[in-house]
């Protein structure tokens, strides 16, 4: 059973239903709120399509949701992104952060608790070869070395944040509804597909006909938009369609990045095992950096307090211990202490660079 956030008096029962039920698996149909409401009624939740739509719209307007729509998988759209760590001296921390953040390729930047590597940022580029150049520029400007930690294997990316209330398992999945489409092996986007990606990257309109609204915005038939989004979902270009909660608004204020020095021969076993823990939202294999960074496995957890995060981290350690002898020096947890930048991945640039 998934762990859930504590009660929040500001959320109605219907709010809780919408948040829990549709963090993925929302219908890709011309009028999606009607089958979504019907599925809830089958679960004993009496709600109409218009009531569900109004609920989602209000959650979005209040900031309880980050957005409603498709979660685009940037890696499959084009370009590249990588995680980078560096040391920012305490006396120069703000200066270094300002220099790093000034690079438009830096999408996210966090201060994390670590005795040396206290700044962690994501570099997102349209051209993979540009990563090295950006890091060279940052090193020259700050005088500090950078440590590139590109993803080598992905075991899980599924940040679901559930709340107490109905449908606590968050298991309403209507992704099977929609047109019958055939995935392709195309590595590039058409101009129309690029326009679609750019239009939906920030969310779908919250209306009775969100896909028709997108179609009108990019001057394409509604049927083409529905079929393309459904195909992108099957091809992995879209991870899921649904509500995307603002986890801070739901009380998930602690994010602990746990890092592990997993024996190389155990990574393929450990990865799926740790990824199966419901509170692990991201799980990757990344490279070590000899003498500086001994860890090759990352697992992100979220909690409503540091104590809850610590309990969840201990559960990760227990799962790890089923596969190898975990010593005290074999792992660490790096809590974020400050968001330094969060602008999001520039999908428009990456999609355009990958358009034929």
Rounded-to-10 torsion of CA 107, 111, 115, 117? 10
Is residue 193 helix, strand or coil?
helix
pLDDT value at position 153? 96
Sign of the CA dihedral 285, 288, 292, 294?
Answer: positive
Q: pLDDT, tens digit, for every residue of 291-345?
A: 999 999 999 988 778 788 889 999 999 999 999 999 999 999 998 889 999 887 7
Task: Report which of 53, 15, 24 is spatially closest to residue 37, judged by C-alpha positions.
Answer: 53
Is residue 120 helix, strand or coil?
strand
Q: What is the DSSP string of 309-326?
A: HHHHHHHHHHHHHTTS--
pLDDT value at position 8? 55
Q: Token pair for residue 303? A: 């909690």
pLDDT value at position 139? 98
This prediction has a pTM of 0.85
Is residue 275 helix, strand or coil?
helix
Q: Which residue positions in the chain have pLDDT lower than 70?
A: 1-9
Sign of the CA dihedral 255, 65, 155, 119?
Answer: negative
pLDDT value at position 3? 42
pLDDT value at position 84? 98
* Alpha carbon distance 348, 356 (integer Å): 14
pLDDT value at position 1? 33
């Amino acid at each position: 059973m998934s762990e859930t956030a504590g009660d929040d008096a500001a959320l109605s029962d219907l709010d809780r239903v919408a948040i829990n039920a549709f963090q993925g698996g929302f219908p890709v149909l011309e009028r999606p709120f009607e089958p979504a409401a019907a599925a809830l009624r089958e679960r004993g939740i009496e709600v109409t399509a218009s009531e569900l739509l109004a609920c989602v719209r209000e959650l979005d307007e209040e900031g309880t949701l980050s957005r409603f729509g498709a979660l685009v998988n940037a890696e499959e759209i084009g370009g590249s992104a990588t995680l980078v760590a560096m040391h920012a001296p305490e006396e120069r921390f703000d200066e270094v952060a300002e220099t790093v953040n000034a690079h438009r390729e830096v999408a996210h930047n966090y201060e994390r608790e670590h005795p040396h590597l206290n700044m962690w940022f994501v570099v997102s580029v349209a051209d993979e070869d540009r990563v090295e150049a950006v890091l060279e520029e940052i090193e020259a400007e700050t005088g500090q070395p950078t440590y590139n930690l590109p993803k080598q294997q992905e075991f899980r990316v599924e940040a679901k944040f559930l709340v107490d209330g109905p449908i606590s398992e968050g298991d309403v999945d209507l992704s099977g509804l929609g047109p019958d489409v055939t995935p392709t092996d195309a590595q590039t986007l058409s101009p129309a597909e690029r326009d679609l990606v750019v239009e939906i990257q920030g969310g779908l309109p919250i209306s009775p006909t969100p896909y028709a609204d997108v179609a009108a915005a990019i001057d394409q038939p509604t049927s083409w938009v529905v079929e393309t989004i459904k195909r992108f979902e099957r091809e992995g270009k879209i991870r899921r369609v649904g509500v995307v909660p603002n986890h801070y608004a739901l009380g998930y204020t602690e994010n602990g990045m746990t890092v592990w020095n997993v024996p190389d021969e155990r990574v393929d076993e450990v990865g799926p095992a740790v990824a199966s823990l419901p509170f692990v939202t991201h799980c990757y294999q990344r490279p070590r950096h000899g003498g500086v960074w001994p860890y090759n496995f990352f697992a992100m957890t979220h909690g409503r307090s540091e104590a809850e995060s610590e309990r969840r981290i201990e559960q990760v350690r227990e799962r790890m211990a089923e596969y190898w002898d975990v010593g005290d020096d074999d792992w660490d947890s790096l809590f974020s202490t400050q968001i330094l930048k969060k602008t999001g991945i520039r999908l428009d640039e990456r999609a355009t660079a990958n358009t034929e």
